[in-house]
Amino acid sequence: MLRHRTAIAAALLILSCGAAFGQKAEPVARYRAVAASLNLGKASQIDIVIERWSTDQERQQLLTTLQEFGRDKLIAELMKIRPRCGYMRLPNTRGYDLFYARDNVLPDGNHHVVLATNRSVGVSEAATATRSLEYQLTLIELHLDKEGEGEGKLVPAGKITWDNAKKTIEIENWGALPVDLKGVKSVKP
């Protein structure tokens, strides 16, 4: 009888642990927008799901890495961040993990959301070692009002550097036909 009770207790413990580990945390934020690429002449809906915001420590580590070692080490450091911060997805796609997500609440109550991930590099691109390998970061910037509506930009291939003189992060191709995010709306998680 004691063996039977011990076996039942062990089974319940295993099942409850499995349920706890199998559950996914509820997203902390969701955004939906129309991504319009003037360069490609295409538009599509994009969904962005934030599972957690990046910590101050993660932000500082990435900034220090960029300042001291440059963009190549920054990409490697970004990819080490676990768990991911969320994902973005176009319809009928698997999506891309986001490894950096910050919601900067401005004094007027508006939000400036910054997201980042690595850029997928194709086999032929890697084999030919083209200049495009320098652009390995995907950046998203959202400007939202207090009601969670606004606009943004997505740079699918950004080249990031640290400007020592200005003490700022520079995105080399930020203005060069990024993907416009129109009608950005915060969706209840």
Are 88 and 98 in contact by the 8 Å Cβ rule? The answer is yes
- Residue 10 inside a domain? The answer is no
| Residue 15 domain-assigned (yes or no) | no
pLDDT of residue 110: 97
> 147: which residues sit within 8 A by CB, 6+ positions away?
186
- In a domain, residue 9? The reply is no
Handedness of CA 7, 8, 13, 18 (dihedral sign): positive
Residue 5 belongs to some domain of the structure: no
Within-domain flag for 20: no
Query: What's the whole-number average pLDDT of the chain?
Result: 80
Mean pLDDT to the nearest integer, 20-45: 82
pLDDT one-digit tens code per residue, 76-120: 899 899 999 999 998 888 888 999 999 999 999 999 999 999 865
pTM, rounded to two decimals: 0.78
Which domain covers residue 159, as residue numbers? 26-187
Domains held by the chain: number: 1
The per-residue DSSP string of 57-88 comes to: HHHHHHHHHHHHH-HHHHHHHHHH-SS--EEE
Residue 80 lies in a domain: yes
| Residue 7 located in a structural domain | no
Q: Is there a cis peptide before residue 91, judged by omega within 30 degrees of 0? A: no
CB atoms under 10 Å from CB of 80, counted, come to 10
